């Protein structure tokens, strides 16, 4: 099928630029015609395509043709089918479906695609609008097409006035079109036409001007103040697109409570509107202070201090911000991210980069959180921690085996020929050579059985203690260290038996014996008391390790979080890896002592009666260097193991999301919003038309161009 030409539709420079951006080619316009290429795709504006996650494939005319034919109800004199405004807006896009729909609103919206402005949409126009919807500035372009009533590629004052007067704010409140504001754009005689870029600025500034005119109209005495009720009326009429339900319901309260004789001054009015317009900047200031801890609550003084480098934010705006925040939770004089989202959620809520397989809200609010909920939260963390621990252990088990054999190797004593490994690499090579690849995983089963609950206990206990010491999103450093120490100590009671069995199995392959050594023979040999051999050394190792590791991990996360305070998988892995280096390295002496106590001494080897005796004999027989044996292997094992474990633990909490009303890990994506610009799932909405309804909605919410949905008789 021949690809249709659009010579008469895209003759202006602006429309040609749109087409060039949408369908890039080496020489897209050798003539004045614009042709669709069947294999081109357009990368649409990130805001528009937020739900579509990336690029929107352009629809080929062969795909659009049957869709157009099915919805087009009018046959022209030329025998071709055309869409009417109702066909396009109501039947195809599914907008204004009520019986008493406003016909002028439907006509205006359809005119965005009707470039000839004859009331009908041809197939060529249908395809051209699909291309426009994928342009980066589709919102402004669509609005421009609506106002450009004669397709002249410019807008007159009469055209602007005719369309803007049909929007709800202008229907409810008059506007002076002879004002200096209008004359600055269209000239003193209002005969100047404005082009696309000038129009975008006019659209941005218009409702600011209407708000100023409205204030002046209600300021009947000229003293620069209006009543709270008048303030509420202006905001709901002119600035309604900037208001959330929370702000809308608290306009009287935030402006003084509606007391008799109370006035809203112009400085307050200007500061209030300015605050609503810069909420994204407000969030940036908050995030820069939170440094990844999105549960942080800031005082007014802390927030004011943070705004010193932002000249756009005034103390008056901060005062209003905290007044609104206090209305959200009376009695508290702090600001949290949730307070900011109450004021402007559509702009601030982020679409989670992690797709949630489960999204459950266990309690409606923090106030409903009870003992049972806390227990369920700990069980939830324990389960995810077990899975994460098993993943981490499996990933680094060969390194752990090499570390254990290096630490158990004696450099003195009467056991001749025991020094069999020169270094960690030599150990790894010899294990593979003499025991095979499976030799690297000797003792893996008890390791997984042990590490899964071990890491679960450690992670759950650390989170539990941190939660207890965290107030308003802040936790003292000493409390972080204490929480880590508690986590390390809690695991020893459960994991010491599994650790000693693992070590016995790991060294079993060094010397050939006549009988086979397995889990059951080790358990029989040790007995119940023997399973806790070296527990004191385990405490000596695990408590300081966790006391170092978890605070280091928390602060590394803050340092590697993105500008929104969120830790993505890469930064989680890096933070966990970095924290493991000092934690694993500094406690190696305790790990050497623990290993010597737990390994079964063979004939001729030195035996140890306890921690102090072991430390003394190692120092006397092998020197201080022996305490640091296997440091490299231990760091190489612990850092990646905890990196995999913590990464898995936090990602699982995002994928299987359950809100227990408690604290989330810092850097988590705590909010998943339904984006304002959500692509359509209608199978007939292909290519750019997946964003058509969202684009018309965006014109309303971003610019305030709310068109009436019903005929006047039906709305009265």
Residue 345 pLDDT > 60, yes or no?
Answer: no
Q: Is the pLDDT of residue 53 over 60?
A: no
Residue 194 lies in a domain: no
260 and 390 assigned to the same domain? no
3 assigned to some structural domain: no
Q: How many angstroms separate the CA atoms of 492 and 541, rounded? A: 10
Within this chain, do residues 483 and 568 fall inside the same structural domain, yes or no?
yes
**Region for residue 413 given its phi and psi (left: phi exceeds 0; alpha: psi -120 to 50; beta: otherwise):** left
Looking at the structure, tell me whether residues 649 and 694 fall in a common domain.
Answer: no
Residues 591 and 481 grouped into a single domain: yes
Q: Are residues 404 and 260 in the same domain?
A: no
Using one digit for the tens of pLDDT, what is the confidence trace for 376-433? 888 999 999 889 988 888 888 887 788 777 767 765 544 444 557 777 788 888 888 8
Residue predicted with more confidence, 521 or 146 = 146
Short-list 452, 457, 525, CA closest to 489: 457
**Domain assignment of residue 215, yes or no:** no
Which CATH number covers residue 114?
1.10.238
**Per DSSP, what are the bridge partners of residue 81?**
75
Distance CA 429, CA 692 (A): 62
* Non-local CB neighbours of 215 within 8 Å, separated by 6+ positions: 226, 234, 266, 269
Is residue 691 domain-shared with residue 597, that is, in the same domain? Answer: no
Backbone phi and psi for residue 504, each to the nearest 5 degrees, phi listed first: -60, -40
User: Phi and psi for 110 in degrees, rounded to 5?
Assistant: -65, -25
Listed as own residue / partner, the contacts of 36-40 with beta carbons closer than 8 Å and 24 or more positions apart are 36/3, 36/4, 36/60, 36/61, 36/127, 36/131, 37/3, 38/3, 38/62
Assign residue 501 the CATH number of its domain. 1.50.40.10
Cα 47 to chain centroid distance, Å, stands at: 14
**In the predicted structure, residue 3 carries a pLDDT above the cut 70:** no
Instruction: Say how far apart CA 7 and CA 413 lie, in whole Å.
Output: 94
The neighbouring-strand residues paired with 560 are none
Same domain, 509 and 589: yes
Same domain, 603 and 689: no
Q: Is the pLDDT of residue 10 over 70?
A: no
pLDDT for 120 equals: 93
Average pLDDT over residues 508-516: 60
- Minimum mean pLDDT among 49-53, 149-153, 509-513: which range? 49-53
Q: Can you say whether residue 140 is alpha, beta or left, with left for phi > 0 and alpha for psi between -120 and 50 degrees?
A: alpha
Asked whether residue 452 carries a pLDDT value surpassing 80, the answer given is yes
Q: By the 8 A CB rule, do 391 and 444 touch?
A: no
pLDDT at 45 over 70: no
What is the reported pLDDT for 2? 45
> Residue 248's CB: how many other CB atoms inside 10 A?
13
Q: Are residues 497 and 644 in the same domain?
A: yes
In a domain, residue 166? The reply is yes
114/109 Cα distance (integer angstroms): 9
Q: Which residues contact 74 (CB under 8 A, 6 or more apart)?
A: 81, 82, 83, 84, 87, 120
Asked, for residue 668, whether it belongs to a domain, the answer is: no
Residue-level pLDDT at 602: 63
Residue 305 above 60 pLDDT? Answer: yes
pLDDT in tens, 251-261: 998 887 544 45
pLDDT at position 675 is 45
- The answer to whether the pTM exceeds 0.75 is no
The answer to whether position 60 is within a domain reads yes
98-116 as b/e: b if 16+ CB within 10 A: eeebbeebbbbbbbbbbbe
Q: Tell whether 665 is covered by a domain.
A: no
- Statement: residue 12 has pLDDT above 60: no
Stretch (H or E) spanning 358: strand 358-361
Whole-angstrom distance, CA of residue 634 vs CA of residue 623: 20
Q: How many domains does the chain have?
A: 3
Q: Token pair for residue 257?
A: 């409570």
Judge whether 289 and 336 are in contact, CB under 8 Å.
no
- In whole angstroms, what is the distance from residue 40 CA to residue 557 CA? 41
pLDDT at 20: 47
pLDDT at 332: 84
Structure tokens at 146: 């609506």
Closest CA to 511 of 409, 646, 594, 584: 409
Q: Is residue 349, in this structure, part of any structural domain at all? A: no
Nearest to 605 by CA among 423, 409, 424: 409
Tokens matching residue 630? 């296997």
pLDDT at 207: 83
Average pLDDT over residues 501-519: 67
Model confidence at 222: pLDDT above 70: yes
Q: What is the pLDDT of residue 422?
A: 77
Strands (E), 221-338: 225-227, 263-265, 298-299, 334-335
Distance of alpha carbon 206 from alpha carbon 263, whole angstroms = 25
Q: Which residue is it, tokens 């290993």?
A: 595
Percent of the chain exceeding pLDDT 70 equals: 82
Judge if 42 and 122 occupy the same domain.
Answer: yes
Q: Cα dist. 70→91, 116, 123, 394, 460 in Å?
A: 10, 22, 12, 58, 59
User: So what's the pLDDT on residue 354?
Assistant: 63
Of all residues in the chain, what percent carry a pLDDT higher than 90?
A: 28
Is residue 563 scored above 50 in pLDDT? yes
Please, what is the average pLDDT of the chain? 80
The phi, psi pair for 474, rounded to 5°, reads -120, 140
Tell me which of 243-247, 291-295, 571-575, 617-621 is least confident.
291-295
d(CA 427, CA 407): 11
Tell me how far apart the alpha carbons of residues 432 and 194 are, in angstroms, rounded to a whole number.
Answer: 77
Residue 321 has pLDDT above 90, yes or no: yes
Domain check: are 647 and 697 in the same one?
A: no
**Same domain, residue pair 495 and 557:** yes
Question: What domain range is 451 assigned to?
Answer: 366-659
Query: What is the pLDDT confidence band of residue 510, given thresholds at 50, 70 and 90?
Result: low
Report the C-alpha gap between 355 and 646 in whole angstroms.
18
Say what the pLDDT of residue 154 is. Answer: 93
- Please answer whether residues 396 and 634 qualify as being in contact, where contact means their C-beta atoms are separated by less than 8 angstroms: no
């Amino acid at each position: 099928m021949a690809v249709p030409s659009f010579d008469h539709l895209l003759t202006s420079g602006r429309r040609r630029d749109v087409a060039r951006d949408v369908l890039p080619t080496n020489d897209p316009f050798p003539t004045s015609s614009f042709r669709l290429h069947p294999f081109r795709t357009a990368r649409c504006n990130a805001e528009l395509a937020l739900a579509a996650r990336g690029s929107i494939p352009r629809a080929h005319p062969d795909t659009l043709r049957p869709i157009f034919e099915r919805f087009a109800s009018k046959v022209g004199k030329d025998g071709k089918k055309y869409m009417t405004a109702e066909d396009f807006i109501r039947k195809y896009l599914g907008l204004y479906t009520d019986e008493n729909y406003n016909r002028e609103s439907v006509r205006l919206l359809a005119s965005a695609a009707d470039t000839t402005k004859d009331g009908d949409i041809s197939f060529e126009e249908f395809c051209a609008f699909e291309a426009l919807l994928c342009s980066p500035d589709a919102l402004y372009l669509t609005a421009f097409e609506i106002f450009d009533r004669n397709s002249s590629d410019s807008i007159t004052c009469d055209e602007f006035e005719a369309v803007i007067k049909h929007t709800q704010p202008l229907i409810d409140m008059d506007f002076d079109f002879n004002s200096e504001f209008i004359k600055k754009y269209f000239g003193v005689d209002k005969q100047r036409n404005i082009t696309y870029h000038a129009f975008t600025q006019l659209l941005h500034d218009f409702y600011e001007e209407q708000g100023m005119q409205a204030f002046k109209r209600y300021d009947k005495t000229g003293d620069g103040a209006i009543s709270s009720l008048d303030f509420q009326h202006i905001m709901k009429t002119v600035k309604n697109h900037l208001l959330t339900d929370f702000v809308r319901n608290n306009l009287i309260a935030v402006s003084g409570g509606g007391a008799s004789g109370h006035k809203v001054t112009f400085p307050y009015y200007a500061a209030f509107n300015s605050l609503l317009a810069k909420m994204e900047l407000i969030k940036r200031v908050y995030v820069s202070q939170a440094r990844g801890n999105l549960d942080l609550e800031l005082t007014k003084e802390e927030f004011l201090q943070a705004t010193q480098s932002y000249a756009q934010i005034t103390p008056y705006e901060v005062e209003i911000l905290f007044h609104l925040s206090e209305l959200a939770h009376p009695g508290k004089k702090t600001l949290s991210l949730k307070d900011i989202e109450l004021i402007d959620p559509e702009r601030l809520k982020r679409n989670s980069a992690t797709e949630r397989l489960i999204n459950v809200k266990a309690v409606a609010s923090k106030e409903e959180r009870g003992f049972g909920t806390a227990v369920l939260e700990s069980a939830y963390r324990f389960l995810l921690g077990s899975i994460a621990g098993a993943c981490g252990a499996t990933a680094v088990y060969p390194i752990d085996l090499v570390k254990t054999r290096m630490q158990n190797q004696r450099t003195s004593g009467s056991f001749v020929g025991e020094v069999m490994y020169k270094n960690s690499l030599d150990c790894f090579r010899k294990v593979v050579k003499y025991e095979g690849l499976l030799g690297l995983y000797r003792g893996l089963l008890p390791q997984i059985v042990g590490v899964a609950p071990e890491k679960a206990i450690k992670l759950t206990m650390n989170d539990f203690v941190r939660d207890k010491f965290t107030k308003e999103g802040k936790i003292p450093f000493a409390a972080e260290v204490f929480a880590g120490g508690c986590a390390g100590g809690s695991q020893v009671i459960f994991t010491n038996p599994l650790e000693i069995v693992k070590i016995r199995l790991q060294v079993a392959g060094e010397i050939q014996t006549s009988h086979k050594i397995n889990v059951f023979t080790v358990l029989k040999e040790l007995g119940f008391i023997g399973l806790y051999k070296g527990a004191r050394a385990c405490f000596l190792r695990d408590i300081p390790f966790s006391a170092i590791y978890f605070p280091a991990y928390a602060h590394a996360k803050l340092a590697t979080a993105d500008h929104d305070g969120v830790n993505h998988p890469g930064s989680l892995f890096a933070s966990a890896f970095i924290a493991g280096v000092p934690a694993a390295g500094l406690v190696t002496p305790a790990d050497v002592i623990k290993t010597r106590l737990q390994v079964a001494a063979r004939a001729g080897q030195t035996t140890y009666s306890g921690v102090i005796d072991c430390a003394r004999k190692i120092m006397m027989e092998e020197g201080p260097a022996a305490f640091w044996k296997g440091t490299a292997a231990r760091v190489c094992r612990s850092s990646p193991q905890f990196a995999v474990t913590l990464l898995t633990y936090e990602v699982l909490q995002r994928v299987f999301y359950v809100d227990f009303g408690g604290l989330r890990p810092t850097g988590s994506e705590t909010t998943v919003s339904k984006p304002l610009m959500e692509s359509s799932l209608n199978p007939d909405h292909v290519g750019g038309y997946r964003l058509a309804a969202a684009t018309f909605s965006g014109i309303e919410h971003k610019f305030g161009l709310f068109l009436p949905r019903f005929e006047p008789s039906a709305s009265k």
